[in-house]
């Protein structure tokens, strides 16, 4: 009996040990599954947040917004008015060309009286002439000039001497005007190279090969080397610069197009990396002075101290909207940040419109700053790790967020750099980047010269023609930036 009882006890102990092991294994498995569930819930929440992203809460362009969803911005209520110009609105009419700029004048006189039918002539003019101008494009046809280089034999010694091209005749098969048009159409008007070949044949009546287009681009690139350097030196000397970057493929490999600009000039640089050394290598010693307005990309952190940086508040507005979209506590936090941020812009707009002084701007922003600071400190402790990390990153840039309130001439956004990149982005979508080093250099210089000319109110095409003619004669390129504009640039604050 005792043996049976001992055996049963051993059996019970074995069973209890096995069940304890099973329970421990199941508990470990449940803990592992709980961790996995938490991980998947976080992933689902992140994916749901991504699905809600549009141009209002991310860096996506407005063109990426779905046409089947409601617009990210609330529509304005309908006014009830008919579309188009309203009664009594100021007329917008095309200005007439001055008389001294008119090429052809044709006089028309009535032939007979509209009442009695009596014959009329120019002698009956009563000086009530009404002008009607018609602007027309004449038929465009290229002019082909053949330069015949003769050879002459010397009557004294019999040596044959061959003529050489004059200095003002290009070695290329195309003249400066046509070369400038080709570069302007491909770079600034975003016409594809094959489209340009078709356009040249149908509009100009001439044939151009793909190889000729590339050689023309390289000729233009060489002529714009000196203006590019001038634009770079102007940006380096500016007190405030705006910097941004976007991707630009090179031979199918991901590269980056950098934009660095000021009031008078904008310089573009194509590099194979987004690393911060591209920015410092381009700016050189100028990194040590002046103010740089950027986004919160980490590549700038070790290059420029926060007291000489300005952070783009347009990016912050989208970040606050992104936090609000996560819902719950983070949603309330994001809404509070967005409301405070909106009040900040209201104060800025009043300063921009001249309603308040810069000192008043700083005083009125004081309460808003500390409201946002407390909210961001709370967000840094949020359970949502993404929101906590975002708030911590914003606080890391806190001094740079308010440079515009401390230094006159600094704006709270980096819109200047983003606007300069838009033509480049549209060009990139058509050409898919550059395929050679020469193509990248051409893109850099054409974008730089075109943007800088427009900033200074200059005709881009006319400047390229002038630069090509100067290069043909071996002369220095014309000044890209007017001298009086460069002199008027104020020193760094």
pLDDT at residue 72, as a whole number: 60
Q: Mean per-residue pLDDT for 17-30?
A: 88
Report if residue 492 sits inside a domain: no
- 115: pLDDT strictly greater than 70: yes
pLDDT at residue 340, as a whole number: 93
388 and 327 in one domain?
Answer: yes
Residue where a domain terminates, one of 406, 431, 451: 406
Q: Mean per-residue pLDDT for 90-113?
A: 86
Report if residue 197 sits inside a domain: no
* C-alpha angle 248-213-136 in degrees, rounded to nearest 5: 105
Report if residue 96 sits inside a domain: no
394 and 324 in one domain?
Answer: yes
- 320: pLDDT strictly greater than 80: yes
301 and 427 in one domain?
Answer: yes
Chain length of the chain: 493
Q: What is the pLDDT of residues 219-277, one digit of tens each?
A: 999 999 999 999 999 999 999 999 999 999 888 888 899 999 999 999 999 998 888 88
387 and 430 in one domain?
Answer: no
pLDDT at residue 491, as a whole number: 40
- What is the pLDDT of the chain when averaged over all its residues? 87
Report if residue 385 sits inside a domain: yes
- 116: pLDDT strictly greater than 70: yes
358 and 292 in one domain?
Answer: no
Q: What is the pLDDT of residues 337-362, one digit of tens each?
A: 999 999 999 999 999 999 999 999 98
Q: Of 296-305, 376-385, 442-451, which gets the smallest average pLDDT?
A: 296-305
**By percentage, how much of the chain surpasses pLDDT 90?**
41
HEC string of 306-317 equals: HHHEEECHHHHH
473 and 341 in one domain?
Answer: no
332 and 376 in one domain?
Answer: yes
Q: What is the pTM of this model?
A: 0.80
Between residues 267 and 170, which one has the greater pLDDT?
267
330 and 248 in one domain?
Answer: no
Domain housing 466:
223-309+414-482
Report if residue 215 sits inside a domain: no
pLDDT at residue 53, as a whole number: 73
429 and 389 in one domain?
Answer: no
Q: What is the pLDDT of residues 41-65, one digit of tens each?
A: 888 877 877 777 776 666 666 666 6
Report if residue 274 sits inside a domain: yes
Task: Report the number of distinct structural domains present in the chain.
Answer: 2
Residue where a domain terminates, one of 406, 431, 447: 406
421 and 275 in one domain?
Answer: yes
Q: Mean per-residue pLDDT for 290-319?
A: 87
Report if residue 22 sits inside a domain: no
331 and 280 in one domain?
Answer: no
CATH number of the domain residue 436 falls in: 3.30.420.10
pLDDT at residue 67, as a whole number: 65
424 and 374 in one domain?
Answer: no
Residue where a domain terminates, one of 406, 433, 468: 406
């Amino acid at each position: 009996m005792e043996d049976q009882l001992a055996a049963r006890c051993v059996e019970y102990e074995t069973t209890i040990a096995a069940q304890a092991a099973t329970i421990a294994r199941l508990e470990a498995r449940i803990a592992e599954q709980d961790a996995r569930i938490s991980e998947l819930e976080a992933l689902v929440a992140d994916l749901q947040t991504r699905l809600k992203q549009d141009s209002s809460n991310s860096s996506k362009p407005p063109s990426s917004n779905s046409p089947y969803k409601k617009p990210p911005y609330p529509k304005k209520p309908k006014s009830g008015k008919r579309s188009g110009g309203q009664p009594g609105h100021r007329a917008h009419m095309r200005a007439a060309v001055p008389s001294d700029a008119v090429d052809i004048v044709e006089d028309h006189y009535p032939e007979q009286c509209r009442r009695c039918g009596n014959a009329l002539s120019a002698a009956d003019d009563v000086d009530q002439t009404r002008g009607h101008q018609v602007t027309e494009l004449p038929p465009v046809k290229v002019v082909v000039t053949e330069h015949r280089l003769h050879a002459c034999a010397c009557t004294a010694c019999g040596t044959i001497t061959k003529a050489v091209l004059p200095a003002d005749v290009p070695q290329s098969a195309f003249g400066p005007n046509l070369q400038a048009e080709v570069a302007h159409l491909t770079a600034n008007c975003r016409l594809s190279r094959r489209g340009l070949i078709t356009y040249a044949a149908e509009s100009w009546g001439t044939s151009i090969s793909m190889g000729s287009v590339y050689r023309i681009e390289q000729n233009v690139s060489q002529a714009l080397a000196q203006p590019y350097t001038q634009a770079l030196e102007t940006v380096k000397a500016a007190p405030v610069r705006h910097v941004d970057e976007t991707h630009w493929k090179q031979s199918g490999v991901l590269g980056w197009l950098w934009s660095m600009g000021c009031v008078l000039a904008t310089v573009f640089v194509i590099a194979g990396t987004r690393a911060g050394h591209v920015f410092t290598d381009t700016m050189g010693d100028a990194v040590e002075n002046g103010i740089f307005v950027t986004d919160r990309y980490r590549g700038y952190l070790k290059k420029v101290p926060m007291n000489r940086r300005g952070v783009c508040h347009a990016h912050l507005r989208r970040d606050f909207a992104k936090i609000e979209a996560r819902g719950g506590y983070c949603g309330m936090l994001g809404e509070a940040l967005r409301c405070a941020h909106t009040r900040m812009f209201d104060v800025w707009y009043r300063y921009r419109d001249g309603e308040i002084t810069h000192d008043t701007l700083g005083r009125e922003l004081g309460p808003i700053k500390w409201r946002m600071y407390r909210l961001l400190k709370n967000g840094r402790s949020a359970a949502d790790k993404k929101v906590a990390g975002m708030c911590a990153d914003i606080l890391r840039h806190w001094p740079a967020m308010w440079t515009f309130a401390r230094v006159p001439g600094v704006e709270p956004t980096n819109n200047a750099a983003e606007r300069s990149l838009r033509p480049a982005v549209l060009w990139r979508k058509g050409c898919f980047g550059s395929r050679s080093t020469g193509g990248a250099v051409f893109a850099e210089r054409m974008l730089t010269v075109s943007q800088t000319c427009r900033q200074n109110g200059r005709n881009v095409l006319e400047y390229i023609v002038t630069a090509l003619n100067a290069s043909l004669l071996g002369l220095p390129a014309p000044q890209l930036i007017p001298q009086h504009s460069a002199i008027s640039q104020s020193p760094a604050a």
